[in-house]
Amino acid sequence: MIARDCSPLDPQPNPVEADWLRQLTANIHACDLVIPVSSFSDDDEPVVYCNWDGTWWAGRYVGNISFQGKRLTILPRFGLSTLRNWFCEATSVVLTEAPGRLREDESFIALLLASVWSYGFVSAARHGLPSLRCNVPNKGMTIRGKLDVPGSIRLIASGEKEMVSLRTEKSLNHATSRSIVAAYSVLRRWLPDEKWIPQRVKELLPHLLAVTGPRPCVPTKNELDRIRYTPITIGFAPLAELSRKIARRRGLSSEVEANSESKGVLLDVAELWELYVLSVLRKAATPLTVKHGTREQGSTKKLLWSEVNGQGFGTLIPDAILYSKRHIRGVVDAKYKSIHPTAYSALGPQREDLYQMAAYLERFSPGKGLPAWGLLAYPEHPDLTTIAPSEQGSPWQLSTDKKIVFTSLPHDAASATAKLRDWIVKMNLSLAEAPPAF
């Protein structure tokens, strides 16, 4: 079955397929298959679901899932090139188109995996390769380092007159390196044109290959879990686990098994859209400060507080908060949904999104009658040339000092930045017009 993210299945499944989808939703949790672009995961949402009117929809993920001898492929509704543009803007990693020799339904999965893997490698290797302290055994009459008592006893029992000692030294020869090289070997077979590899990865890979060889044994999850990373090398932990999954060809193979085991790889497009919006917002909001709500504890507040014990209830985590010095000027939330009217929402934006933004503005308000703005950013639909009613009517007044803006952003980063900058100027959020901080 082939579907597109955040869209109804076309054609709709027959009764047999619908029953298979119900079993799939009951047995598969997206969080077990999603490869995060960042190290922060969001709430688990269904991969596919049946709406109240009986229509089957695909969720916000793209990728492949095999289950009970059948396969579901979810393609990006805006196309792979759009996702790559978002990815490059959000991560600052420049990737070259390299379709290789794959079938169309598999190539986009391999490209997405290669993109995420490359970004993870570049981010983790910011301070160099993962040289970790390992115990190197030494056999002889001289003890180098620490005496290996059990090893020495076994050696003496066998008739040898030598001892075994262990010395600690930094080495690249460990499970993390083997996992990374094994993943590279798989991706290289699926994408023979190495133009997809960033220059930084090309510089560092030969050092790992010299230690592990071109085809190392893929480590187990237990081996990776036993590795102790330093604060500098901790970024290699998620990369090693991702590499292990790729090396096991999880989600890349078109073969499906008849048993109930589920396999696959998913990418959360909503997370990618959020990172894209945050990237262009930081460019558009200058000289204001933009804080990412899901990454900074100071940007998290509770909706309610108990008058009895002071306990907070209802965590509010907006995607971005705009500051002028210490002054909150606005709140931005990225929504990977349709801004245009649908059969389920007459004006486009969904009711829960409006309530969410109203709650944000209530808790993240500068106070003392100062104005605050909330902006909901939706992806622009290339096939719809009309402006959505909610965007035409923006800004919408919530109270005398609070307003909400709905806007659709182009998939081109420069155009999206310009549009956001225009809105920020209209909302009087520039530092020159902001009142002095308290």
Task: Using the structure block, give the residue that is written with the tokens 């079993």.
Answer: 23
Q: In DSSP terms, which residues pair with 63 in a beta bridge? A: 74, 266
| Residue among 120, 214, 228 nearest 174 (CA) | 228
Q: What is the 3-state secondary structure (H, E, C) of 354-395?
A: HHHHHHHHHHCCCCCCCCEEEEEEEECCCCCCCCCHHHHCCC
Report whether the peptide linkage leading into residue 219 is cis, meaning its omega lies within 30 degrees of zero.
Answer: no
Quick check: 223 pLDDT over 50?
yes
State the DSSP code for 70.
E
pLDDT of residue 146: 81
* DSSP characters over 15-54: HHHHHHHHHHHHH--HHHHB--SSS-------SEEE-TTS
| Residue among 119, 83, 128, 127 nearest 239 (CA) | 119
Largest CA distance in the chain: 90
| Residue among 185, 235, 186, 263 nearest 39 (CA) | 235
pLDDT of residue 184: 92
CA angle 318, 36, 229 (to 5 degrees): 110
Give the tens place of pLDDT for each residue, 167-186: 777 888 889 999 999 999 98
Indicate the pLDDT class of residue 249, thresholds 50, 70 and 90. Answer: low
Handedness of CA 395, 396, 402, 404 (dihedral sign): negative
- CB of 7 closer than 8 Å to CB of 77: yes
Which amino acid would we find at residue 47? Answer: V
pLDDT of residue 280: 94
Distance spanning both ends of the chain, measured CA to CA: 58
CA angle 9, 12, 18 (to 5 degrees): 100
Q: Rounded distance, CA 342 to CA 340, Å?
A: 6
CA angle 99, 66, 225 (to 5 degrees): 85
Question: What totals of helices (H) and strands (E) does the chain contain, helices first?
Answer: 13, 17
Indicate the pLDDT class of residue 140, thresholds 50, 70 and 90. Answer: confident
Indicate the pLDDT class of residue 436, thresholds 50, 70 and 90. Answer: very low
Higher pLDDT, 47 or 190: 47
Which amino acid would we find at residue 16? Answer: V
* Residues near 81 by beta carbon (within 8 Å), at least 6 away in sequence: 97
CB-based burial, 219-249: b 16+ in 10 Å, e otherwise? beeebbeebeeeeebebbbbbbbbbbbbbeb
Asked which of 84-88, 216-220, 250-254 is least confident by mean pLDDT, the reply is 250-254
Q: Where is mean pLDDT largest: 10-24, 77-91, 144-158, 416-430?
A: 10-24
Residue 438's Cβ-side half-sphere holds a number of Cα atoms within 13 Å equal to: 6
Which tokens belong to 208? 């790992």
The H-or-E segment that residue 154 falls in is helix 149-157
- CB of 44 closer than 8 Å to CB of 30: yes
State the DSSP code for 418.
H
Task: Using the structure block, give the residue that is written with the tokens 């009986």.
Answer: 54
Give the tens place of pLDDT for each residue, 37-70: 765 555 668 899 998 888 999 999 988 888 888 8
Q: What angle separates helix 104-124 from helix 236-247, to the nearest 10 degrees?
A: 150
Quick check: 95 pLDDT over 60?
no
Rg (CA), the chain: 26
Question: What phi, psi does 369 have (nearest 5°)?
Answer: 75, 5
Quick check: 339 pLDDT over 50?
yes
Quick check: 188 pLDDT over 50?
yes
Asked which of 85-99, 179-193, 203-217 is least confident by mean pLDDT, the reply is 85-99
